[in-house]
Amino acid sequence: MMRTVEAVIDEQGNVRLLEQVRLPAARRALVTILEERPVAGAAESALLSEAALSEDWNRPEEDEAWSHLQQAR
C-alpha cells in the first residue's frame, strides 16, 4: 500500500511529518522536495479546490444522494 504524508524538511535535512504515521514494520519512503515554503494550517490544495468543489457539494441532489449516511436524529 502506498500512502502520501505531508512533511516539512528543515535546513539541516531533518524531516518532520505533519501527521502521525503507524506502520506494522519499517518501510522505504520517497521524499519529494517542493519549491514553496510550508503552508501553516490547512493544505494549500484543499483551500484552492474548496470553492470549485462546494458548487457540487452544496446541491440538493448531493444531499439526497448521501442522505442514507446521515445519522438519524
Q: For the chain, what are the domain ranges?
A: 7-69
More confident of the two residues 62 and 70: 62
Q: Is the pLDDT of residue 15 over 90?
A: yes
The model carries a pTM of 0.45
Q: Which amino acid is at 65?
A: A
Contact between 56 and 62 under an 8 Å Cβ cutoff? The reply is yes
Range from 4-8, 38-42, 55-59, 63-67 carrying the lowest mean pLDDT: 38-42
More confident of the two residues 30 and 56: 30
